[in-house]
Amino acid sequence: MKTTTKLCLLMCFMFVLGRFSVALATECNMPYGALGRERGTPYEKNMAKDRALPVDNESKMKYLLIHLQNRIKIGAFPLKSIKTSPKVEIYREKMSIRDEDVLQKYGYRLGVTLGDGSYGCVKRAFSVRLEKDVAVKIINKRVASKDFLQRFLPRELAIVQRLQHPNIVKVYQIIDTPDKVYTIMEEAPHGDLLEHVQTRGAMSERRARETFRELAEAVSYCHTQDICHRDLKCENILLDAHGHVKLTDFGFARDAPSDDRGRPTMSQTFCGSAAYASPEVLRGKPYQPSSYDIWSMGVVLYIMVVGTMPFDDSNVRKMLRKQMDRKLNFSSTRTISQECKLLITQMLSPDVSQRPTIHEVLNSRWLRSSQSQPPTCSAAWRLESSSQPSTTESAMVSR
């Protein structure tokens, strides 16, 4: 009898577990930030493939996103912990209504879907008040994890309200309903940096310098406010109608002020994609989030001027060894200045104490080079809409 009872209890437990556990969702290509990424998972568990860049001419790169095991569906609840800001309008609805009706109430005409994720989607909408297209990130609270809703989403929404910089995606409005959260932000119609490198190849140093300076200025602005992004990568660097950088996706961002003795705040949560992760993050050690941002910027700059990933992350343990051994190879087919190589090498130093601060990056010899030009709207490569994309920089210039 006891055996039968135990068997019945075991079967009931397995039924309940299967009922409430959901399969890990593979992230789609998401503009304005991925929807449905889970936070804090060790890098070795449940990584999903993202868009790829070649490591070299013979192999393809795999981007890895992190997901928690056994994500549980939960009931919706209001995000009471969202802090308000006079810079961003926040509205709370008591009733659940259709997306179209919610947005129409606040003066938006819903358009096409720009991307999908396991927690929701990003859609284009036309703002009657602003008289222009905007992007709307829609988070479905009924399918999002409890940890995401209680911890990470409120933190992200609180941070984006404070950010007012020309190279950071501007958030106009946040609408919170019992079932969903709508974040209305400016649209970046020219895609992200990864798309440009994939279709047009590596940039010339002059053009890379313009774009990288804008990224560095956006990160410097964040660090000045004690905010660290912790997920800097080419997919999160959008380009507006004039080709200027718009940094997005602050889902992993956090406040990281120094303590009373001036010591930096340490983080322990694994964040972002393994391809852009620093050695200390991959090893699961407490890390300085600002130094992590610098490492990720080094990966981004390498991709911009070389056109491939600096490290092959198809085997993360092997990649970590190469990072620690400083095995960084620059393309022999492209001419890259010593100043640019030096900056990349410094940012990709496995020794955190040897990595430059964002202030030192902005004041590096490469960014202060006499060849440097202020960002302009005439960067032709950014605005091209040719149906025959080039794969080399020389082909871009010849158009």
Asked if 209 and 122 sit in the same domain, the reply is no
Asked if 204 and 252 sit in the same domain, the reply is yes
Asked if 180 and 254 sit in the same domain, the reply is no
Residues belonging to the binding site for ATP are: 137
What is residue 340's three-state secondary structure? helix
Residue 61 counted as domain residue = no
Asked if 167 and 299 sit in the same domain, the reply is no
Give the active site residue among 231, 249, 293, 312.
231
Domain end marker among 186, 218, 233: 186
Q: Which is nearest to 76 in space by CA: 144, 160, 172, 147?
A: 144
pLDDT at 19 over 60: no
Domain end marker among 186, 211, 234: 186
- How far apart, in whole angstroms, are the C-alpha atoms of residue 341 and residue 378? 26
Residue 155 counted as domain residue = yes
Asked if 251 and 372 sit in the same domain, the reply is yes
Residue 250 counted as domain residue = yes
* 100 φ, ψ (degrees, to nearest 5): -60, -40
Residue 228 counted as domain residue = yes
Residue 231 appears among annotated catalytic residues: yes
pLDDT digits (tens, 9 = 90+) for 230-272: 999 999 999 999 999 999 999 999 999 887 777 888 998 888 8
Distances (CA, A) of 208 to 42, 183, 211, 329, 399: 33, 31, 5, 18, 18
pTM attached to this predicted model: 0.75
Residue 199 counted as domain residue = yes
pLDDT at 168 over 70: yes
CATH of the domain at 152: 3.30.200.20
pLDDT digits (tens, 9 = 90+) for 187-221: 999 999 999 999 999 999 999 999 999 999 999 99
Asked if 297 and 386 sit in the same domain, the reply is yes
Domain end marker among 186, 205, 234: 186
Asked if 120 and 217 sit in the same domain, the reply is no
Domain count, the chain: 2
Asked if 172 and 292 sit in the same domain, the reply is no
Residue 16 counted as domain residue = no
Range of the domain at 314: 193-397
